[in-house]
Structure 1
């Protein structure tokens, strides 16, 4: 399931630097920003005097200036939204993209401060390849202090990845961002309410009454997922997280799989394996899969880290710090309806078998309430947890209408990623 993310990460030769308080991703071929101050409604683009965006016209100028590649992604450049914006009727193109992995100049590398304002009625539909789609396509800088309302993002191309309501693919930071209203995010691989694919930090974010729809069909053969990157990784905050952290995030809404045998569905995140920590999160979520599935949980479908981070660094282009991954102080209310699905848990679906071993996690100070219907031998906390530790988790779960006490599902079957 990481196959496409691997190619994305390895395509980027990057280093992280601190400049004027902004963590930015700097590329070897980076050019000097040529933005004109007259393009915006004030400011000079510094941290002390950010460019001001007060109208839809100047916001569209900002997006175009990132996407034409002439401003080197606005590295070390600061923007401040000073008014609410309505994008009704606008033919949107996500800010920053990596559709051409040889061209790094179209990534967003700056700082966008929403100023606690709201951008409403974003609509983006595509049947073409997208590597990162949303309000922002690819963020390698920071997006913060922003509310997005009534977003509709739909990508039907089966080879696309990282579809989010606010950020498609996050390699920087997303902080104090809210997605609310009747927002519906639809995609095939790594589809998230706020962030589609994540490889850094997501903090203090909230998805309110959001619907995430995972499309496409998967196939299993002899305990092996036959396809990679199909019908997988859907969550209300993050679709797929492959490195980094999630802290103090909340979610409410529905995660729905429309095809056959989806993998990795969760309330906060769908696939959160290789995430160092998931802490202080809450969710009230309904998860629906009408045609089987694998790795489904109220917090996340997949979780855990690998014992040898060098394996991940060599094969995936990123590494982890914590082993096992930390899952602490998360409180989940969930209704899971998944006929015939395996590795289903109230909190976590399972670890991922990857490069010869399962990823593992440690659960502390968590609670989960709700129901699981139709799944095969689920657990109140985890569907499978080989090598993992569940130290303290209060679970009050009805399984097919009956109160259950088994924290871990009773299954010896292990599914292997198609990426290997």
Structure 2
């Protein structure tokens, strides 16, 4: 049954104020949209058949690295990272401290306990992935588990330069592969999910289950910022389900980011974001800017290729190339429903793959939304629309990348926190078939080969050359670091 969004907002004001007493930890989560009816959702064997270990990483935690007197730590083993989770669960918030990764890690052997297990034991520190990858994260603490991910409750700190490849998460709500709830002015940059799987377990007898789920973050709230991040994979939940973020709220900002994959849900389901609603303070709108979604989106009501339900907030300079399958009229190629506080400004969707209206409910005044054919979204005039007369330009075309659709201009530096001008070393040839050669062979460099979205494809050490013959044709980045600084070089693989 189709619902009036004004009634939804009123329902939130009544219900949301008492969430803490009604649902325990829910008072510390992004608010629920509305009371909803049970529905049957699409099955997904890839998610329904996930298998998790029974042993837990905290049993094998290495406590030897930590000292109260030290503020900066570099962790190099899975057992050390497990001890970080254990220390935070025991009440050490790590406020004012910084954790860095010194190696790629593989967490596939045991179950992971989120760093910041509940709202009572949040992580307040900084976490620098140093462009490393954590593989095979597995998070499951029963079908009633919440605050799930590598981090459960992350508040105030800075999280950057980290990739999770092959993460699997299953639980009740407020779940992401990277973070369950990202809040209180926290900042995230250059973080990426590859091959992610997340299942929010839905109980038809308890319709507040399986909400606030996103492959990157379940919720982003209270002036927190997500910048230059991405997620690729499959996610399923019941309510407020987004490919990247389930529920942004109260001055949350998401920019320069994208999702690719499959999103399954019932209510408020979107290719990038599920739902955002009113906050109780003034000027509390959500901002989504320079983002895109390339998804297969399935739901019942308030279903959109980019956004499920936008009650309050602004979406700017963004596009969707998503198929959309919904059961009601509140289904749109770009956004399922728009409330009186929702603004679309220079928003676009592919009407070839989503042959329907761009929005499900009647739009708010001044909605700036356009539908385009596939061909029209791969030409200069569309790029000009996205860039919107800005200098420098934000979007560009990159040959052989993103199926011919625009990419974020600075996406070529995703995963690279700063680019320094090359002065001591250069590479040749810049169009390579098998190898890249270094001009400076007197010292050894640590290298990373990245794609234009900043994902690390290979890494190692060299003082002479880097093998690139196994790469597909396209544009890549080579990062070289020698302990005194680093340079980043662009090259093409022939």
TM-score, length basis structure 1: 0.67
Given the alignment of the two structures, is residue 282 of structure 1 paired with residue 287 of structure 2, yes or no? no
Alignment partner of 2:330 out of 323, 340, 343:
343
Deviation at 1:301, TM superposition (A): 0.4
Given the alignment of the two structures, is residue 248 of structure 1 paired with residue 256 of structure 2, yes or no? yes
Deviation at 1:64, TM superposition (A): 0.6
Deviation at 1:40, TM superposition (A): 2.5
Structure 2 residue aligned with 1:135: 150
Q: Counterparts of 1:133 and 1:328 in 2: how far apart (Å)?
A: 30
Deviation at 1:272, TM superposition (A): 2.5
CA contact (8 A) 1:193 1:207 kept: no
Q: 1:153 to 1:9 in 2, by over 3 A?
A: closer
Structure 1 residue runs without a partner (length 5+): 13-36, 215-230, 306-324, 352-357, 399-420
Q: 1:177 to 1:211 in 2, by over 3 A?
A: farther
CA deviations 1:309-328 (Å, max 9, x no partner) are xxxxxxxxxxxxxxxx2211
Given the alignment of the two structures, is residue 179 of structure 1 paired with residue 202 of structure 2, yes or no? no
Larger radius of gyration: 2
SS in structure 1 at match of 2:79: helix
CA contact (8 A) 2:63 2:83 kept: no
Q: Counterparts of 1:94 and 1:140 in 2: how far apart (Å)?
A: 14
SS in structure 1 at match of 2:288: strand
Q: Counterparts of 1:177 and 1:163 in 2: how far apart (Å)?
A: 19
Structure 1 residue aligned with 2:436: none
Structure 2 residue aligned with 1:22: none
Given the alignment of the two structures, is residue 194 of structure 1 paired with residue 216 of structure 2, yes or no? yes
Bigger relative contact order, structure 1 or 2 (CA pairs below 8 A, ≥6 apart): 1
Deviation at 1:175, TM superposition (A): 1.6
CA deviations 1:307-362 (Å, max 9, x no partner) are xxxxxxxxxxxxxxxxxx22110021110122x223111111113xxxxxx44222
SS in structure 2 at match of 1:59: helix
Alignment partner of 1:169 out of 162, 181, 190:
181
Q: 1:179 to 1:55 in 2, by over 3 A?
A: same
Matches within 5 A, 1:7-406: 7=20, 8=25, 39-40=64-65, 45-46=70-71, 50-69=72-91, 71=92, 73-98=93-118, 104=120, 106-142=121-157, 143-155=159-171, 160-172=172-184, 173-187=186-200, 188-199=210-221, 200-214=223-237, 231-243=238-250, 244-257=252-265, 262-274=266-278, 275-289=285-299, 293-305=300-312, 325-338=313-326, 340-351=327-338, 358-370=339-351, 379=357, 381-391=358-368, 393-396=369-372
Q: Counterparts of 1:164 and 1:11 in 2: how far apart (Å)?
A: 16
CA deviations 1:372-402 (Å, max 9, x no partner) are 779xxx52x21124434213x321379xxxx
Deviation at 1:166, TM superposition (A): 0.3
Q: Counterparts of 1:197 and 1:11 in 2: how far apart (Å)?
A: 11
SS in structure 2 at match of 1:183: strand
Q: 1:252 to 1:42 in 2, by over 3 A?
A: farther
Q: Counterparts of 2:143 and 2:332 in 1: how far apart (Å)?
A: 35
Q: 1:66 to 1:394 in 2, by over 3 A?
A: same
CA contact (8 A) 1:212 1:236 kept: yes
CA contact (8 A) 2:253 2:288 kept: yes
CA deviations 1:164-188 (Å, max 9, x no partner) are 1100011142422433332111111
CA contact (8 A) 1:207 1:236 kept: no
